[in-house]
Chains A and B, each alone.
Chain A
Amino acid sequence: MSKNLGQLDRMVHGAYEAGWTTDIESDTLAPGLNEDTVRFISARKQEPDWLLQWRLKAFRHWQTMVHPEWAHVHYPAIDYQSISYYSAPRRPGDGPQSLDEVDPELLRTYEKLGIPLHERAALAGVAVDAVFDSVSVVTTFKEKLGEAGVIFCPISEAVREHPELIRKYLGSVVPFRDNFFAGLNSAVFSDGSFVYVPKGVRCPMELSTYFRINARNTGQFERTLIVADEGSHVSYLEGCTAPQRDENQLHAAVVELIALKGAEIKYSTVQNWYPGDADGRGGIYNFVTKRGIAHANAKISWTQVETGSAITWKYPSVILQGDNAVGEFYSVALTRGMQQADTGTKMVHVGRNTRSTIVSKGISAMRAENAYRGLVHIGAGADNARNHTQCDSLLIGDRCGAHTFPYIESRNPSATVEHEATTSKVGDDQLFLCRQRGLDPEKAVSMIVNGFCKQVFRELPMEFAVEAGKLLEVSLEGAVG
């Protein structure tokens, strides 16, 4: 028994492949957080006064908030004064207007991560916004998207170019009072992506943002806002990596999605922040608030593959505001080493005939802890609302943990809410069966885990489903990685 566990352990000790750093000159704000920090960030981004005032309001409110303690994660108190809130690669003037002006070192960074930014080399049919520490370094295919009327740009640019949209929607789904990390983000957010898809337009390309934390002692506080106007359709993917460092780094993002009548937003995440080493040194604290609002006949679908971060605290949610709105959440969360994840979703049914589906797959290996936390709320007016939740946990070895915290609140007797949960082990038996049929132990574990996740991988855009499978393999292999 113990012999077998040792083998499983070795297998899940995969090396983190994105752990290198980029050597680049940066303008980094000294650590510390006060109103001047907020003013500095706003000024650096040449923001209008209304946004500065909004940030300051958020900051003042945040100071009155308490750090949430309810999640099933454990870490020492964070000293918010020891973090730098802004770091940008140094560049002449206002920053690059085209790829030719981007520091080649940055282009190489993304290339090495498998994200070529030159449009001719780019993944076919995928437009990329590359965010490096606190700024967006380049957004590809802007012109091609522009022809369809789709706006895809850094949010700091959108503040200048499309202030009416930002003013209308920023903070409309996740107000700064929402929670501690959303409050902090609203005060100090730096960059992130903005997407607007006009009425009736089907976005011609996959959109994706690639987040990279590079600077030491720096937090990344990105903000993403996606507005899909009536009857439009957009599919968006974000990827995240960070260098291997001994100290913990904070990533507190906010993502807001607005799907107007009949619109559809598909939002996929492949999160591979540095998870820390096997003893729990270093790694990203990934404290993220993601929420969408779906108006009548609209659909919002979250798919996430979470393999990185020392701690993951995120609950991509959908407010099913309009009648017949649909919300989906498909999640794979893999924790190994000393990683901890408390993740899940909230489906808030407001409109009639609203439907939501939750499929959560948690995998824990070694000494990791993995918790699913989900709320299904059926409001009094949500006649005939339906939810189906399926929540499966897979344990590898016998020192890890899986926990499920489902909350169901129903205020409408016509609603149907179903919850299924299973916990299983990558058993010695499964592994033995595979090996007895001639398979390598590594291949066997990766096959078992991929099988477990199949239902979620099916939901990823095709270009990334393969990537996700591979990422899981890298995370699990170790012995051969």
Chain B
Amino acid sequence: MLKIANLHATVADTPILKGLNLEINAGEVHAIMGPNGSGKSTLAAVLAGRDGYEVTAGSIEYQGRDLLALAVEERARAGVFLAFQYPVEIPGVSNMEFLRASLEAVRSHRGEPNLSAVEFMKLARATSQQLQLDPEFLKRGVNEGFSGGEKKRNEILQMLLLQPNLAILDETDSGLDIDALQVVADGVNALRSPERAIIMVTHYQRLLDYVVPDYVHVLADGCILRSGGPELALELEAKGYGWLRDDAA
């Protein structure tokens, strides 16, 4: 589904990613771990096409297409979803209105008919209940006055509605208490399927107790330093990142 080859990327002319290679197949869940500044969030931003992140070399192939040639919204409609680390507020635009517009954009790209207002309401309500969010909050402005946990759950709500092919979760676990983490993890697990792939960018092993990945990659200084199974995350938790670096040196 996703093939990243020799990816180099800069932010404000500073090289961050330096020759990253990664291949992800449908049905897989990959965890990307690594210390601060290793390039985890840059990778997520580059995949989504955020401005300010410049790819200087390498390629990204997504479902056989050149992902880098697509605009941000084209990637989104093609099924690339990014759950934000810091979801922004859009005051005055109701969550409902926003979700509906975005679902319509994605569905019309897929050639699916728009849901009626009633069908959409039903779906949105059911999904928010699944995430233990009060349906009242669908009427509030996008992320407006939401707590940190609510914002993260709202990201998962959007993900479940849009049913992406490739979901990228950028430190979705940070700032969540244990109950919220469970809810978010249930949401992510609900999305797992043989047609979909999930990338979880995370700092901690904690989330991986709830969403068990197929592969764990450790990113350091813009490259993947080591890849392994879920046991690699546990080892990291015990020994810290320093161990790997010393090992590599």
Q: How far apart are the CA atoms of A315 and B217 in the complex, in Å?
A: 61
> Which chain A residue lies CB-closest to B102?
A437
Q: How far is the CB of B53 from chain A (nearest CB, A)?
A: 11
Q: How far apart are the CA atoms of A432 and B52 in the complex, in Å?
A: 11
Q: Are A438 and B91 in contact (CB under 8 A)?
A: no
Q: How far apart are the CA atoms of A455 and B93 in the complex, in Å?
A: 11
Identify B92's interface contact among A1, A3, A454, CB under 8 A: A454
A residues less than 8 Å from B75 (CB atoms): 436
Q: Are A437 and B51 in contact (CB under 8 A)?
A: no
B76 within 8 A of A: yes
Q: Are A451 and B92 in contact (CB under 8 A)?
A: yes
Q: A430-B88, A451-B141 are in contact. Are A437 and B93 (CB under 8 A)?
A: no
Q: Are A443 and B84 in contact (CB under 8 A)?
A: no
Q: Are B73 and A441 in contact (CB under 8 A)?
A: yes
B90 within 8 A of A: yes
Chain A 446-460, CB within 8 Å of chain B: the 1/0 string?
A: 011011111100000
> Which chain A residue lies CB-closest to B168?
A436
Q: How far is the CB of B20 from chain A (nearest CB, A)?
A: 21
Q: Are A433 and B88 in contact (CB under 8 A)?
A: yes
Q: Which of the four size classes fits the interface of chain A?
A: 20 to 34
Q: Are B91 and A452 in contact (CB under 8 A)?
A: yes
B residues less than 8 Å from A454 (CB atoms): 92
Q: How far apart are the CA atoms of A172 and B75 in the complex, in Å?
A: 62
In A406-457, which residues have CB < 8 Å from any B CB? 424, 427-430, 432-441, 443, 447-448, 450-455
Q: Are A432 and B158 in contact (CB under 8 A)?
A: no
Q: Are B92 and A437 in contact (CB under 8 A)?
A: no
Q: How far apart are the CA atoms of A443 and B106 in the complex, in Å?
A: 14
Q: Are A447 and B93 in contact (CB under 8 A)?
A: yes
A4 within 8 A of B: yes
> Considering residues B71, B84, B101, which has the most beta carbons from chain A within 10 angstroms of its beta carbon?
B101
B residues less than 8 Å from A4 (CB atoms): 51-52
Q: Are B92 and A450 in contact (CB under 8 A)?
A: yes
Q: Are A450 and B102 in contact (CB under 8 A)?
A: no
Q: How far is the CB of A116 from chain B (nearest CB, A)?
A: 31
Beyond A433-B87, A438-B162, list 15 extra A-B contacts (CB 8 Å): A1-B51, A428-B52, A432-B48, A434-B90, A435-B72, A436-B75, A436-B84, A437-B101, A438-B105, A438-B106, A439-B102, A440-B73, A443-B105, A447-B93, A454-B92
Q: Which residues of A come within 8 Å of B, CB atoms?
A: 1, 3-4, 424, 427-430, 432-441, 443, 447-448, 450-455
User: What are 12 A-B contacts with C-beta separation under 8 Å?
Assistant: A428-B52, A433-B88, A434-B90, A436-B75, A436-B81, A437-B76, A438-B105, A441-B73, A450-B92, A450-B93, A451-B90, A452-B92
**Nearest 3 pairs between A and B by C-beta?**
A451-B92, A451-B93, A438-B105
